[in-house]
Amino acid sequence: MSEEWKQKLKKYYEGSLTDKEAEQLEKELEKLDAYQEVISEELEQDSQLNNQEDDLPPDKVGKMLKNSIRNARFSLAAYIIMMLLLIYPLMLMASYLYYAFDQKAEDLIQIPIHTVYVTEPNVSLEEMDIERKFGLFTFDVNMDLYKRVGKRDIKLGDWEVTYKFSDAEFPNRNYIVENAPKEIPFYDTKKLYHPEATITNRDGGWERLEKLPEGTVAEVYVSLKDLTKPEDMSKVINGLDVEWRWYAINTGLEAKGKSLEGGYLTPIGYPAQPDPNGWSPYHSRESNEKQFLNSLRFLKKYEQQAVDIAHAKWLDLDYRFNYIEKNGLESYGGVITGPTKEILKLKDNPSIRNISIGEVRLWNW
């Protein structure tokens, strides 16, 4: 407030102002009263609002906070989902491109196919029963496995091989037969023996075969006393009404029966009969011997995947392939099938060292 204004007020209260001056001052005081009233009303409203906020009950405050947090979470989740919906198709496309590059998917399909034919005696596949499924940098191959017992292929079970990028995981194996193979075979479960190898599994094959009724067919693992060239294997059965299904091949390690690192070594070999299906690795357009070498040549490039897929911890494919190329193909046994009583005629065959019984079925010969 200015000094002049103070002097006017003092003269007004003393009555020393002229009537005109007093009248002007009274008008100014009326304006000030109006201003003061407006300011007081505004301050009172602000005070009431503040008191209302301060007087909110705790449960209402908590509810408001929860709603705020929930809304924030919902917004964050919606943002993440939106980003995933945008990213997922791109990642899936990148995955397809990864497996399409340089025929990677086709090679990954062929690895378990060749591994089965080379490491699983008397086991075959059907093209229509091989399924494949792509994921985000994962690739699944599902295969139904069959065995020839008599004149029919019986379903052995199925394998599901999963690749993460290009690395194979241990297969998920489901068998529907009684004599399912061990996940990792060992010496006491061995069925095929090199002529110089110690027999660790004498399961009384001939005695068991004699007890089977006449109206049955059997799958029999045959170990020979001498190494025999594949083209001479027919002489072993000597015109009997039985059929070779798979040849076990000597690769320089079978006499000891151990891998280069000293562990159990699974046998390798190839089908004795050509497959009429053109898609098969052992189709009829080339000799099975040549196709066996092609299989080994292919699997050498993917040996770790083949080991992960096979019933084995070691395959030593480089060493075994080089041995075969240097020394040629020689078999120390394999798998035959036919009528049980017909197979029994081989009991006194001097070229046979040991047998082991596989699957048995009712007559279908």
pLDDT for residue 236 is more than 60: yes
Q: How far apart are CA 304 and CA 315, in angstroms?
A: 9
Per the listing, tokens 């020393």 go with 16
Residue 9's pLDDT is 64
What pLDDT does residue 77 have? 78
Structure tokens at 326: 């240097």
C-alpha closest to that of 358 among 226, 192, 186, 138: 192
What single string gives the DSSP state of each residue in 37-56?
A: HHHHHHHHHHHHHHHHHHT-
Quote the pLDDT of residue 360.
Answer: 96
For 319-365, how does the pLDDT look when each residue is reduced to its tens digit (9 = 90+)?
Answer: 999 999 999 999 999 999 999 999 999 999 999 999 999 999 999 99
pLDDT in the model for residue 22: 67
**Does residue 131 have a pLDDT over 90?**
yes
CA dihedral (25, 28, 29, 32) in degrees, to 10, reads -160
Find the mean pLDDT for residues 194-220.
Answer: 93
Distances from the Cα of 163 to the Cα of 175, 189, 301, 329, 349, angstroms: 21, 29, 16, 33, 46
For 28-52, write each residue's pLDDT tens digit. 766 666 556 655 665 566 555 555 5
pLDDT at res. 20: 74
Query: Residue 43 has what pLDDT?
Result: 58
Tens digit of each residue's pLDDT (9 = 90 or more) over 215-232: 999 999 999 999 999 999
What is the rounded CA–CA span in Å between residue 56 and residue 177?
74
Percent of the chain with pLDDT over 90: 62
User: CB–CB of 145/152 below 8 Å?
Assistant: no
pTM beyond cutoff 0.75: yes
3-state SS, 319-335, equals: HHHHHHHHHCCCEEEEE
Separation between Cα atoms, residue 127 and residue 276, nearest integer Å: 12
